[in-house]
Structure 1
Amino acid sequence: MDAEGLLQEDNGGSWTLLSLSASSLMVFGGALPYVPQFQEIQRSSNTEGFSTRVCLVLLIANILRIFFWIGKQFELTLLLQSVVMILTMFAMLHLCCSIQNTNRVSTKQHRLTDLSFEYFWKWSAFEDYLLFCFGFTVLCAVVTLLLLDSVVFVETLGSLAVMFEAMLGVPQLLQNFHNSSTKGMSVKMVLLWTAGDVFKTTYFVLNDSPAQFWVCGSVQILIDVSILLQVLFYSQNTRTKLG
């Protein structure tokens, strides 16, 4: 083999390695921001700074994305990413339930069977979150099987999936606003959100992913930046009050 052939083979091997690295980062990178938040909750034994509705948004988004993949088989990488993200959100909810039940002063337990919107997604038992997601998945499965041949339905499913994912940071943004503070929220988590959203949006564009994906990524970046601005604003307010 001549020098040119060796060079082409080397470049091909480097590109394959880079592609595999990018795919691995896409699969597991979305879960990484929750590691510092998980550690922060464990350390402080307090869940007030983290909005568990972030988990709700991501669970719905990724369940819908899995059914979107069934109707329109895009990159396998994005399907695997959804599976990893669902498992990550269950891990976060399990930790939050454990901490809240340990710190609970009142004996009142809020359950899924209460059927009260006031306590929706504020349940005391981790099993209730599992049951809700199971029911939602079964519902999606039935509807998808009935309408799988409809292009309009499949595209709508994809749009709903990315719309929910684009709203990922909104519950955290609203909780920070309600608390007038970002205390208890991991800033590292939001920085990793931002870095991850920039990376994946670039990935979507370069890989000609469905338009819904890169639009979602762009919206997420804007929300991430808004949360980071909250961190600066509320920290300045705290310093002003102390001064």
Structure 2
Amino acid sequence: MEAEGLDWLLVPLHQLVSWGAAGAMVFGGVVPYIPQYRDIRRTQNAEGFSTYVCLVLLVANILRILFWFGRHFESPLLWQSIVMILTMLLMLKLCTEVRVTNELNVKRRFFAAADTQDEAIKPPPRRSYLDFDPRHFWHWSSFGDYVQCVVAFTGVAGYITYLSIDSALFVETLGFLAVLTEAMLGVPQLYRNYRHQSTEGMSIKMVFMWTSGDAFKTAYFLLNGAPLQFSVCGLLQTPVCSLERAHKPRKG
């Protein structure tokens, strides 16, 4: 009887907590990148941040959105993917602008062939339409080239999904590909730190927020009955980010 009398308080409180958790899921994933974004703008140096982190998250979240068309999951998780894609594009835009500014004499590289004034004066060497040289991939000189690459990937993956959407095996595999890709988000940064033997330029706050955020996401997935793929992602992603936090090689 007493519990029933408290329903007027418990029900709205439960709803408020649910809304708060959903909001944290949608926007919480972008919070770790705020200190890194501010550091890059302040120092005008993007060398400490691996833009392959952006590539991993763009691929993972595009695949996750496509997975939603085959198996609807909670709306907050869908909106989280959309917000994360926009955030990664902003990070790429800043990193590209800073890198190009600091590399004035470096030859420009493009995802797709384009004519410029300089090329009109001096004929460029013959090359293929798409610059998929492994040495230059994801290291282009214009933000527009990254956008073209993302759009091209989305178009191809979307078309394949459209043709195979009725296959339960394909849909479930797509979901696992999405979350396993996302689980590896810390690997590019870990490799970059190891190769340079330095963590200079990398925001430690970002890595700490990665770890705590992944723990929160895993709990959210389990409590809200999200598809199995999401829980697997959280369980794999947390130790990877913890390793990234612990790995502090000496400065070269």
C-alpha RMSD of the superposition: 1.4
Match of 2:123 in 1: none
Distance (whole Å) between structure 1 residues aligned to residue 106 and residue 24 of structure 2? 43
What does 1:230-241 correspond to in 2, within 5 Å? 230-231=247-248, 234=249, 237=250
Find out whether 1:117 has 2:134 as its counterpart: yes
Distance (whole Å) between structure 2 residues aligned to residue 182 and residue 142 of structure 1? 40
Distance (whole Å) between structure 1 residues aligned to residue 197 and residue 2 of structure 2? 64
Distance (whole Å) between structure 1 residues aligned to residue 35 and residue 140 of structure 2? 24
What does 1:1-243 correspond to in 2, within 5 Å? 4-113=3-112, 114-231=131-248, 234=249, 237=250
Instruction: Give 1:115 shift.
Output: 2.8
Distance (whole Å) between structure 2 residues aligned to residue 215 and residue 171 of structure 1? 20
TM-score between both structures, scaled by the size of structure 1: 0.93
1:162 alignment partner AA: V
Distance (whole Å) between structure 1 residues aligned to residue 106 and residue 216 of structure 2? 45
Match of 2:115 in 1: none
- Deviation track 1:142-197 (CA, whole Å, cap 9, x = no partner) reads 11111111000000100100011001100001001111111100000001101100
Distance (whole Å) between structure 2 residues aligned to residue 220 and residue 70 of structure 1? 24
- Deviation track 1:81-112 (CA, whole Å, cap 9, x = no partner) reads 00000000000000001101111131410111
TM-score between both structures, scaled by the size of structure 2: 0.90
Distance (whole Å) between structure 1 residues aligned to residue 106 and residue 55 of structure 2? 25
2:135 counterpart SS class: helix
Aligned residues: 234
Instruction: Give 1:3 shift.
Output: 6.3
2:104 counterpart SS class: coil
Unaligned runs of 5+ in 2: 113-130
Match of 2:127 in 1: none
Instruction: Give 1:140 shift.
Output: 1.4
Unaligned runs of 5+ in 1: none
Instruction: Give 1:214 shift.
Output: 1.1
Instruction: Give 1:126 shift.
Output: 0.3
Identify the structure with the greater helix proportion. 1
Range with greater deviation from structure 2 (24-33 or 102-111): 102-111
Range with greater deviation from structure 2 (133-142 or 109-118): 109-118
Instruction: Give 1:210 shift.
Output: 1.2
Distance (whole Å) between structure 2 residues aligned to residue 142 and residue 224 of structure 1? 33
Instruction: Give 1:42 shift.
Output: 0.6
Distance (whole Å) between structure 1 residues aligned to residue 4 and residue 165 of structure 2? 47
Distance (whole Å) between structure 1 residues aligned to residue 198 and residue 220 of structure 2? 33
1:117 counterpart SS class: coil
Distance (whole Å) between structure 1 residues aligned to residue 187 and residue 161 of structure 2? 28
